[in-house]
Structure 1
Amino acid sequence: MIIGENRAQVIENIKTAVKKGKMHAKVELGDPILTKSERIKLVNDYWKQQKKFSHKLKNIIAQGIINIDTLILMAHTQIKNKKRAQGPKYGAIITSNHFKQTDSLPIKKLANKCHKKLYVVIEDSNLKLPGFFGFLMNNINAIPIVQSYQYLGREFPKHLQKVFDKKGWVLIYPEQEMWYNYRKPRPLQKGAYYYAAKANVPIISCFVEIQDLPEMEKNSNEFHKTRYILHVLPTIYPVDRLTVDQNAKRMRDIDYLQKKKAYEKAYGKKLTYDFDDDDIAGYVKK
């Protein structure tokens, strides 16, 4: 399933970003353009809607759609080392590579198998998406993030803690921006690990391997269909004797090395950031 137009241009944007060493650059086209004040209002309005009875009904519908999509679209997705995710008894942050609009579904499949409620951290502008995806973003179990010191320092941790208190999981993408079908793990931003250290919860480290299906199975002239293998890597726990910042750095470094090792084992080659067309899963080379 291909979501979004101009995939060829997006791939060119990825190539350019890799060449410039900008591994967290925005490469998608057509994202809503909002001012900072508009973003803050959008997120504040989102939380106000959460309290309404109408939202609770929409949430039931949206979560039902996500569960059906997970059953159907992830039917052939393998999960390796699922037991590693069953270790944490309380709340946790899950990290994974960010390569598609639906890449939370392998994690949702894992959460369902482990009987955990999953929340996904989303970019504020996703709340402004039109149509079906806008409905989902506004009504699934999501925690939007906005670049505001007050929100990130006060409000966001409170929303995370509510999930942790209920022994739930929060999926955060430390690569930040989505890079369509990009196979390689990218350098990780600090945020997810800072919040894990501050709340004293572990990181459930994951990496999604993307396999191309046979040539006769195509989504379009540009892409073969793909399937996923979700690798659950060793869980990373905070260390009591370290400060929040020290723990955040330690957990981030371990997580990156684990994802790097998982990539190299899955694809049988060393991780470098020299771009090759094979870096884009399913891409039909011209």
Structure 2
Amino acid sequence: MERISCLDGEKYKELKVKEGVYVPDLAVNFPDDDPSRRMVKVEVVRDLKFDETYPYLDESSDYKRNVFLCDLKTYLCNFLNWMIYGLKIENKHVLDGKDFSNGAITVANHQYRWDVPGVRKAVGYRRLWIPAWADTFKTSDYFNLRGARCIPIPENMGGIKKFNEAFDILHERKEWFHIFPEGVRWDFYKPFKPFRKGAFNWAYKYDMPIIPMVYVHRERTGWRKLFAKGEPLMTLKVLEPMYADKSLPRKAAVDKLRKEVYEKMLDAAGIIHNPWPMIPEVDN
């Protein structure tokens, strides 16, 4: 049987990268028609409602215990990140000496199951709160997601109001947020999918800097060839913080910041021509 190769896909054929940039040859048929399609299957095992009654910001002792245990688990995940994916973090020093007294928003391309622990390692002692698809909380990952400070994005107005109130409170506490602007995870996918504007809206609303981070791939070498065959090694690049231009009207400032962050991230990823547009068809 002929081997499947992502490089045969329409979008990969359009992709152009800088000389020397590694593009992993994955045995995956990625979608070429819908960048919002979710490739990670959701298997529902819990019946939960994400409306105005859901505790988006949970202060219970059980929740705090779960968070503590998940924080410990993050250290294990990052040990495995190093062992299996050879995770390297570059340019972490760009965060040194910066004023983050009002919090910050990290953004990254959504690459693999353990990409959040990598971002957590990059920001050090800071806590990250993460908006996430509500239906993933109905899976066996419920406690992991809750413990990782993920907050479900509800689909009804009552829930949205409470969700927004939760992040308003977190901002008052000067907490940090993390958002994957692509919205969906396609494992080790080289092109960038369109960026939703949520992170950039929040950057303007809360007057918080965006800290772009970019996962790039390296060829699997040495003893790490024993693990995760067919998957690349990973490097996380930390870029300079970027701010919304508050002299502009909100929409113009949000659009400008999204474009600037997107272009900086493409450049850091070594992408000269990206096959997907920057703005999704449904821009929310």
The residue identity in structure 1 corresponding to 2:142 is G
User: Which secondary structure does the structure 2 equivalent of 1:45 belong to?
Assistant: coil
Using structure 1 for the length normalisation, give the TM-score.
0.75
Which residue of 1 is the match for residue 134 of structure 2? 124
Which residue of 2 is the match for residue 183 of structure 1? 190
Query: 1:84-103: CA deviations, max 9, x gaps?
Result: 23424221111100121211
The residue identity in structure 1 corresponding to 2:190 is R
**CA distance in 2: counterparts of 1:74 and 1:164, whole angstroms:** 32
Which residue of 1 is the match for residue 28 of structure 2? 11
Task: State whether residues 123 and 145 of structure 1, in contact with CA within 8 Å, keep that contact through their aligned partners in structure 2.
Answer: yes
Shift of 1:33: 9.7
Structure with higher RCO (Cα < 8 A, 6+ apart): 2
Go from structure 1 to structure 2 and tell me whether the alpha carbon gap of 1:70 and 1:251 turns closer, same or farther (over 3 Å shift): same
Shift of 1:254: 0.7
The residue identity in structure 2 corresponding to 1:249 is D
Go from structure 1 to structure 2 and tell me whether the alpha carbon gap of 1:140 and 1:255 turns closer, same or farther (over 3 Å shift): same
Which residue of 2 is the match for residue 54 of structure 1? 62
**CA distance in 1: counterparts of 2:79 and 2:175, whole angstroms:** 20
Pairs aligned (count) = 246
Using structure 2 for the length normalisation, give the TM-score.
0.76
- Tell me, yes or no, if structure 1 residue 194 matches structure 2 residue 201: yes
**CA distance in 2: counterparts of 1:259 and 1:127, whole angstroms:** 29
Which residue of 1 is the match for residue 89 of structure 2? 79
**CA distance in 2: counterparts of 1:119 and 1:62, whole angstroms:** 13
- Tell me, yes or no, if structure 1 residue 231 matches structure 2 residue 237: yes
Shift of 1:70: 2.2
Identify which range, 227-236 or 101-110, moves more after superposition. Answer: 227-236
Shift of 1:229: 1.3
Select 1:212's aligned residue among 216, 219, 227: 219
Unaligned runs of 5+ in 1: 1-8, 275-286
Which residue of 1 is the match for residue 15 of structure 2? none
Go from structure 1 to structure 2 and tell me whether the alpha carbon gap of 1:33 and 1:179 turns closer, same or farther (over 3 Å shift): farther
- Tell me, yes or no, if structure 1 residue 255 matches structure 2 residue 261: yes
Query: 1:223-261: CA deviations, max 9, x gaps?
Result: 334322111122111222122222211111111101111
**CA distance in 2: counterparts of 1:25 and 1:34, whole angstroms:** 23
User: Which secondary structure does the structure 1 equivalent of 2:131 belong to?
Assistant: strand
More helix by share: 1
- Tell me, yes or no, if structure 1 residue 103 matches structure 2 residue 120: no
The residue identity in structure 2 corresponding to 1:188 is F
Which residue of 2 is the match for residue 64 of structure 1? 72
Go from structure 1 to structure 2 and tell me whether the alpha carbon gap of 1:31 and 1:259 turns closer, same or farther (over 3 Å shift): farther
Go from structure 1 to structure 2 and tell me whether the alpha carbon gap of 1:147 and 1:88 turns closer, same or farther (over 3 Å shift): farther
Shift of 1:149: 4.0
The residue identity in structure 2 corresponding to 1:263 is A
Taking the TM superposition and a 5 Å limit, the aligned residue runs for 1:25-40 are: 25-32=37-44, 39-40=49-50
The residue identity in structure 2 corresponding to 1:179 is W
Task: State whether residues 46 and 138 of structure 1, in contact with CA within 8 Å, keep that contact through their aligned partners in structure 2.
Answer: no
**CA distance in 1: counterparts of 2:76 and 2:169, whole angstroms:** 26
User: Which secondary structure does the structure 2 equivalent of 1:40 belong to?
Assistant: coil
**CA distance in 1: counterparts of 2:158 and 2:207, whole angstroms:** 21
Task: State whether residues 54 and 159 of structure 2, in contact with CA within 8 Å, keep that contact through their aligned partners in structure 1.
Answer: no
Which residue of 2 is the match for residue 284 of structure 1? none
Shift of 1:150: 4.6
**CA distance in 2: counterparts of 1:119 and 1:74, whole angstroms:** 23
Shift of 1:215: 8.0
Which residue of 1 is the match for residue 54 of structure 2? 45
Task: State whether residues 116 and 167 of structure 1, in contact with CA within 8 Å, keep that contact through their aligned partners in structure 2.
Answer: no
| Identity, % of aligned positions | 17
Task: State whether residues 245 and 257 of structure 2, in contact with CA within 8 Å, keep that contact through their aligned partners in structure 1.
Answer: no
Go from structure 1 to structure 2 and tell me whether the alpha carbon gap of 1:226 and 1:144 turns closer, same or farther (over 3 Å shift): same
Unaligned runs of 5+ in 2: 1-25, 277-284
User: Which secondary structure does the structure 2 equivalent of 1:201 belong to?
Assistant: coil
Task: State whether residues 122 and 145 of structure 1, in contact with CA within 8 Å, keep that contact through their aligned partners in structure 2.
Answer: yes
Which residue of 1 is the match for residue 105 of structure 2? 93
**CA distance in 1: counterparts of 2:150 and 2:275, whole angstroms:** 32
Task: State whether residues 112 and 186 of structure 2, in contact with CA within 8 Å, keep that contact through their aligned partners in structure 1.
Answer: yes
- Tell me, yes or no, if structure 1 residue 270 matches structure 2 residue 276: no
